[in-house]
Amino acid sequence: MEKNFSITRATKGRLPRLPFSEIKRAVLGASYTLSLVFIDDKSAKRLNKVYRRKDTPANVLAFPLSKDEGEICINTDRGKREAKEFGSSYRNHLAFLFIHGLLHLKGGRHGSTMTKEERKWMKKFILS
């Protein structure tokens, strides 16, 4: 694991093995400092309410802290539900949420350009 990349699990249960560090490096670069936190519905709802004024548990939240530092929080509870809804594996859906968060940290906004970027990175890491 890179010295400027940390993963914190604030949830119970196992996480699938994914090349988080390699994906982070490819999308944001090696010098970007990133904290990745896995959270549950309760924490995601609280953070979403505080930072986005939305009273629902977000699936992923991206917090840019500076030009070259940020934090991503992935809600594993919602990730598991969405994977089933979308007919995807939990592993691939977590990868998608991670990539989605990384693109937000790069300044990406929802839309066709972001969708193309998500597909590109999923394909590069053979996750689609």
Nearest to 101 by CA among 49, 23, 4, 46: 23
From CA 50, how far away is CA 38, in angstroms rounded?
18
Helix (H) or strand (E) holding 42, with range, is helix 41-52
67-115 per-position pLDDT tens digit: 999 999 999 999 999 999 999 999 999 999 999 999 999 999 999 999 9
What integer is the mean pLDDT of 11-40?
95
Confidence of residue 61 (pLDDT cuts 50, 70, 90): very high
pTM exceeds 0.85, yes or no: yes
Please tell me the CATH code under which domain 5-124 is placed: 3.40.390.30
Could you tell me the residue ranges of all domains in the chain? 5-124
Output the pLDDT for position 12.
Answer: 86
Ramachandran angles phi, psi of 79, nearest 5°: -60, -40
